[in-house]
Amino acid sequence: MATETEVGVLLHQRGWRTAFTVAERVNAWATLVSFIERGYGDDIYEYTNDLYCRNWLHEAWLLLDEHIVQLWTPQIKSLDDRYKAATVDDDGQALDQFLRLMTGSTPTWEVQAERWVSPG
């Protein structure tokens, strides 16, 4: 397991555009969830791009020290719950053409379509 700084650097080395912190990505996730709750105004390309803040958190969680995970998990779970309430689970159909979905254990934020996105 690694510190927040180490994880940010490692994920940057793996291709993320910068060495983010957990706080930065949680704040980005909170902002996106708020936008979705109010009615997301951007197009599908921006929406799928915006979801990457949550992907970063997912990747970081596998690497972070347990105490950091425990510290941030309640806030992230709350945001995830709000996201689920503001979106529709369509098993990834609406976003499938825009996101390359992982097979098997696809994270919730990649199968939930913002309410204005209609499948097909």
**Does position 91 have pLDDT exceeding 80, yes or no?**
no
Q: Which residues pair with 2 in a beta bridge?
A: 64
Cα angle 14, 15, 18 (rounded to 5 degrees) comes to 105
- pLDDT of res. 93: 74
* pLDDT tens by residue, 32-76: 999 999 998 888 889 888 999 999 999 999 999 999 999 999 999
**DSSP summary character for residue 2:** B
Backbone angles phi, psi at 88, to 5 degrees: -115, 130
59: helix, strand or coil: helix
- Tell me how far the alpha carbon of residue 44 is from its chain's centroid: 15
CB distance 96 to 106 below 8 Å:
no
> Nearest CA to 35 among 44, 24, 25, 47?
47
Q: Which residues pair with 64 in a beta bridge?
A: 2
- pLDDT of res. 112: 59
CB distance 87 to 40 below 8 Å:
no
DSSP 62-88: TTB-HHHHHHHHHHHHHHHHHHHHHEE
